[in-house]
Chain A
């Protein structure tokens, strides 16, 4: 009642700190704190060799997280990304090794197979109106199963100089996979911020009903988003195969949880309508730094999972408190 009464018409005031900016700032603060902590604990942390380690392993989680961010913005979720990544690797290796297709074509078809899963996810969510959590939980299981069936549970070795470059090559000392990831981030940052499609995703996440009645093609957009998520997950699967020089049906197990953790850490809301790729990439980097630092400190790998969970709860809890504070401020204004 106070806000509607106190009317002041005039030049719009721009708030000094928007929610998004505050999230980014606090993420940077967390990152700096982590670096300082690990830097003081182990001198190797700031070495260039360690920087290489971190940067060359960002791409898989980072690229998959782009798609996940889009899906979460629309108010959905995609649990199938890890399975899709494994499937695309398996399909690629089978087409090349057993099908005799050129490796490039095999990889494209492998990514395509993953994209098909996205089409199915999106189709079920939009046309059968089944909850995305249930839908992708089902395909998570189905697709992982398919990867085992197709590969007969075998790990296949893949080695090809051009193919290795995707995951392990570098240009001017910068890992190729990292460059690929940065390019994708720039492209999708643009899409989210400066295209109608991107803006519509936020509207859909804010209120699917209102978006539909405003004439936004909600179903088509949702379908597109799940396809994008699956295609990016498949690409991550290819990078994974290239880095390991082998494809295995149990590749990328648990990828979905790492990715969701990173995206939520980056301030994207699970209830939809809110999120940025800047936040997501920060979330990805923070998680990776945390893992890396703990390894360097020779903390047991079991404890790394514990630490990851703690960071997630701390970050989201902090976000909630900040939200409440800003609401109180707004009411006062």
Chain B
């Protein structure tokens, strides 16, 4: 698939960029050949997105050259890059949710009729025909007249990809395209990517999911701290060496998590016969003190609704939740918190954090027993508590705990969310996709923290669609399919194939 024999299609050479005197890219180079998949890797803040934004014309570089098909080009704005066939598919989606699929696909270029007054009127029949034709490129059966909002997230993303592919696409850049996709959909996407490569269109692929990189990439370019570290064919790397290059230090292979808790250890969180029509059905399980239980399911299998149900964010229709053997009446999140359950939602920016408030206030948000005396908030004590968690969890930030939390990296934000629930002294912690958008270094930090917390007696339930993550931290794994628990594995028996089979509803 690699077309390395010929001249490169794209070369970025000696790129420098700084913002307000802080160097973000320092002599970075990138070479792209026709028909290849080049993975661009690095921790958050390594400079990947800046480099891509320069390629896209979003930012202008301070110095350096961009050579496309042997000719130097200069992109002053995104329109220039687009005219040269450079297409971006972003992690965050950019579409108008209340418009239809075809309106989104043909945004700004809806076909009009002819003559007067026809040329002032949109030709909807023609619009539908063009949209259907474009969707068929990816073998997609979506009614172009449906509103984007009504589609599953996955299909919205595929529509975005279709939109990017239209026109004369020369180079495709994908930024974390699989974040919201299920394994079968990832496969479908990879098929699409390979199809592009066969047509000679190269793809620059950015992902934190390294297993995907091994599956799809031909070559890898790694950045660290704004510098080019290495460019290697994928065959010359393994997971350890790749992470080592990204982080700049060796991260040992994670050891398999501990043994399942013996029956004598008390149960902390018990869920019995929890049901909600259309979401999850008769779910029962227990989490012991000091145990980390993983729930693995493909996206949309009901795991999200289940955790929201346990936490009272969306009331279940029947069933009970008990903490330390006492059945709790949980109608609202505040009941769950009072019962000693903490909850880490998927969408950190919207559902976990008060982005405009300081790190300190975000950490102490859920604790109002120990920090209050006679109804008065004890600010000095609060600072001590916040500082304790910042030190204990290694939350790194420039400027101290009064800095608004939106200035922290994803990993450090997530640690602050953990700190919030530890500060509230919960007995059980439910985490949804705990390391989405968290870079590799911080990710292994978070796993280590969770294991340490479990050793201290916290009961932890981790819901994830990342099978590596589930295998890395769980002592026991439950699989969920269509809202039902389909199987349970001890860590020693949990293999990738078995989990995938159970999560796809295949009988054991």
Q: Please give the residue numbers on chain A whose beta carbons come within 8 Å of chain B beta carbons, in ascending order.
A: 1-15, 194-196, 198-199, 202-203, 206-207, 209-217, 273-274, 328, 330-333
* Complex CA–CA separation, A206 to B357 (angstroms): 8
Which secondary structure dominates where chain B touches chain A? loop
B507 CB contacts on chain A under 8 angstroms: none
Q: Which of B22, B45, B225, B368 contacts A196 (CB 8 A)?
A: B368
B44 CB contacts on chain A under 8 angstroms: 1, 4
Nearest-neighbour CB distance to chain A for B103, whole angstroms, equals 26
Q: Which of B20, B225, B357, B366 contacts A5 (CB 8 A)?
A: B225
Instruction: State whether the Cβ of B253 lies closer than 8 Å to any Cβ in chain A.
Output: no
Q: Which of B24, B354, B372 contacts A206 (CB 8 A)?
A: B354
Residue ID in chain B nearest A8 by CB atoms: B398
* Complex CA–CA separation, A333 to B398 (angstroms): 9
Contact B356 A4 (CB under 8 A): no
Contact B343 A332 (CB under 8 A): no
A8 CB contacts on chain B under 8 angstroms: 398-399
Interface centre among A5, A7, A202 (most CB of B within 10 A): A5
B377 CB contacts on chain A under 8 angstroms: 194-196, 198-199
Contact B412 A4 (CB under 8 A): yes
Instruction: State whether the Cβ of B397 lies closer than 8 Å to any Cβ in chain A.
Output: yes
* Interface 9-residue window, one of B181-189, B199-207, B402-410: B402-410
Residues of B334-362 contacting chain A, CB below 8 A? 334, 336-338, 343, 345, 350-357, 361
Q: Which of A207, A213, A330 contacts B355 (CB 8 A)?
A: A207
Contact B357 A6 (CB under 8 A): no
Name 25 interchain pairs, CB-CB below 8 A, sorted by A: A3-B408, A4-B407, A12-B401, A12-B402, A13-B399, A14-B400, A194-B379, A195-B372, A196-B368, A202-B354, A203-B354, A203-B361, A206-B354, A207-B354, A207-B355, A209-B351, A213-B352, A214-B352, A215-B337, A215-B338, A216-B365, A273-B354, A328-B20, A331-B20, A333-B399
Nearest-neighbour CB distance to chain B for A315, whole angstroms, equals 21
Contact B20 A332 (CB under 8 A): yes
Given contacts A4-B412, A12-B401, A199-B361, whether A211 and B376 have CB atoms under 8 Å apart is no
Q: Which of A15, A195, A214, A217 contacts B402 (CB 8 A)?
A: A15
Residue ID in chain B nearest A2 by CB atoms: B22
Instruction: State whether the Cβ of B304 lies closer than 8 Å to any Cβ in chain A.
Output: no
Instruction: State whether the Cβ of B177 lies closer than 8 Å to any Cβ in chain A.
Output: no
Contact A196 B372 (CB under 8 A): yes
B352 CB contacts on chain A under 8 angstroms: 210, 213-214
A5 CB contacts on chain B under 8 angstroms: 45, 225
* Complex CA–CA separation, A260 to B397 (angstroms): 37
B305 CB contacts on chain A under 8 angstroms: none
Contact A7 B397 (CB under 8 A): yes
Q: Which of A2, A9, A207 contacts B353 (CB 8 A)?
A: A207
- Assign chain B's interface to a size class: 35 or more
Contact A331 B19 (CB under 8 A): yes
Contact A4 B409 (CB under 8 A): yes
Contact A214 B366 (CB under 8 A): yes
Nearest-neighbour CB distance to chain B for A278, whole angstroms, equals 17
Residues of B1-41 contacting chain A, CB below 8 A? 19-22, 24
Instruction: State whether the Cβ of B436 lies closer than 8 Å to any Cβ in chain A.
Output: no
Contact B311 A213 (CB under 8 A): yes
Residue ID in chain A nearest B399 by CB atoms: A13
Q: Which of A213, A273, A332 contacts B351 (CB 8 A)?
A: A213
Q: Which of A12, A195, A203 contacts B357 (CB 8 A)?
A: A203
Given contacts A2-B22, A196-B368, A332-B20, whether A12 and B356 have CB atoms under 8 Å apart is no
Nearest-neighbour CB distance to chain B for A206, whole angstroms, equals 4
- Additional 16 contacts, C-beta under 8 A, given A196-B372, A203-B365: A4-B412, A14-B402, A196-B377, A199-B361, A202-B354, A207-B351, A207-B355, A211-B365, A212-B313, A212-B332, A213-B311, A213-B343, A213-B351, A213-B352, A214-B365, A215-B366
Instruction: State whether the Cβ of B437 lies closer than 8 Å to any Cβ in chain A.
Output: no
Q: Could you give, for residues 387-403 of chain B, a 1 whenever the CB lies within 8 Å of some chain A CB and a 0 otherwise?
A: 00000000011111110
7 A-B pairs with least C-beta separation: A12-B400, A215-B337, A4-B409, A206-B354, A332-B20, A3-B407, A5-B45
Contact B24 A2 (CB under 8 A): yes
Q: Which of B336, B351, B368 contacts A210 (CB 8 A)?
A: B351
Contact B424 A202 (CB under 8 A): no
Nearest-neighbour CB distance to chain B for A333, whole angstroms, equals 7
B303 CB contacts on chain A under 8 angstroms: none
Nearest-neighbour CB distance to chain A for B316, whole angstroms, equals 16
Nearest-neighbour CB distance to chain B for A152, whole angstroms, equals 45
Nearest-neighbour CB distance to chain A for B206, whole angstroms, equals 14
Nearest-neighbour CB distance to chain B for A23, whole angstroms, equals 15
B371 CB contacts on chain A under 8 angstroms: 196
A212 CB contacts on chain B under 8 angstroms: 313, 332-333
Contact B424 A215 (CB under 8 A): yes
Nearest-neighbour CB distance to chain B for A235, whole angstroms, equals 23
Q: Could you give, for residues 187-216 of chain B, a 1 whenever the CB lies within 8 Å of some chain A CB and a 0 otherwise?
A: 000000000000000000000000000000
Instruction: State whether the Cβ of B294 lies closer than 8 Å to any Cβ in chain A.
Output: no
B334 CB contacts on chain A under 8 angstroms: 215-217
Nearest-neighbour CB distance to chain B for A294, whole angstroms, equals 36
* Complex CA–CA separation, A7 to B397 (angstroms): 6
* Complex CA–CA separation, A7 to B400 (angstroms): 10
Instruction: State whether the Cβ of B50 lies closer than 8 Å to any Cβ in chain A.
Output: yes
* Complex CA–CA separation, A13 to B399 (angstroms): 6
Contact B24 A7 (CB under 8 A): no
Instruction: State whether the Cβ of B420 lies closer than 8 Å to any Cβ in chain A.
Output: yes
Contact A1 B50 (CB under 8 A): yes
Q: Which of B333, B396, B400, B424 contacts A13 (CB 8 A)?
A: B400
* Complex CA–CA separation, A195 to B353 (angstroms): 20
Nearest-neighbour CB distance to chain B for A50, whole angstroms, equals 40
* Complex CA–CA separation, A4 to B49 (angstroms): 14
A199 CB contacts on chain B under 8 angstroms: 361, 377
Contact B400 A195 (CB under 8 A): no
Nearest-neighbour CB distance to chain A for B186, whole angstroms, equals 27
B412 CB contacts on chain A under 8 angstroms: 4
Nearest-neighbour CB distance to chain A for B218, whole angstroms, equals 27
Instruction: State whether the Cβ of B144 lies closer than 8 Å to any Cβ in chain A.
Output: no
Interface centre among A4, A15, A209, A332 (most CB of B within 10 A): A4
Instruction: State whether the Cβ of B434 lies closer than 8 Å to any Cβ in chain A.
Output: no
Contact B409 A273 (CB under 8 A): no
Contact A332 B338 (CB under 8 A): no
B278 CB contacts on chain A under 8 angstroms: none
Nearest-neighbour CB distance to chain A for B347, whole angstroms, equals 9
Residue ID in chain B nearest A269 by CB atoms: B356
Residue ID in chain B nearest A219 by CB atoms: B332
Nearest-neighbour CB distance to chain B for A186, whole angstroms, equals 15
Contact B357 A215 (CB under 8 A): no
Instruction: State whether the Cβ of B483 lies closer than 8 Å to any Cβ in chain A.
Output: no
Nearest-neighbour CB distance to chain A for B342, whole angstroms, equals 9
* Complex CA–CA separation, A206 to B361 (angstroms): 12
A203 CB contacts on chain B under 8 angstroms: 354, 357, 361, 365
* Complex CA–CA separation, A212 to B308 (angstroms): 12
Instruction: State whether the Cβ of B290 lies closer than 8 Å to any Cβ in chain A.
Output: no
